Amino acid sequence: MRGRRDGEIPAADDVRLPATHYHPAGQHRPPLVLLRRPYGRGNALDRLPALPAEHGYQVLHRSLRGTAGSGGRFDGFVIDPADADGTLSWPRAQLWLGGELAT
């Protein structure tokens, strides 16, 4: 794994959703795996997104709405449609996306 970049993904309703982008070394625009979790980033569970990156995938690890510094309110039973729209459109606009995306 080459590294990671922290940033924010704007949801369709302008709520900011923190994310960490992991990318493997020596590969140009490999497939992207999208992870969304309510448990935050920067803790022991960060090993989970690092594993695919060590095996040649990019990983975009995004916090759920209302958790770990994200705007909005967390509801464990509802995923806001604005979050999905932003989470899918933002990486598509990045030069590092190679066109393949999995969740």
Q: Tell me the pLDDT of the chain averaged across its residues.
A: 82
18 close to 6: Cβ distance less than 8 angstroms:
yes
How far apart are the C-alpha atoms of 92 and 98, rounded to whole Å?
Answer: 9
Domain segments of the chain as ranges: 3-102
Give residue-wise pLDDT tens across range 16-27.
Answer: 888 888 888 888
Q: What is the pLDDT of residue 99?
A: 82
Rg (CA), the chain: 13
52 close to 60: Cβ distance less than 8 angstroms:
no
φ and ψ of 28, to 5 deg:
-100, 110
The CATH homologous superfamily to which domain 3-102 belongs is Alpha/Beta hydrolase fold, catalytic domain (3.40.50.1820)
- Record the pTM: 0.81
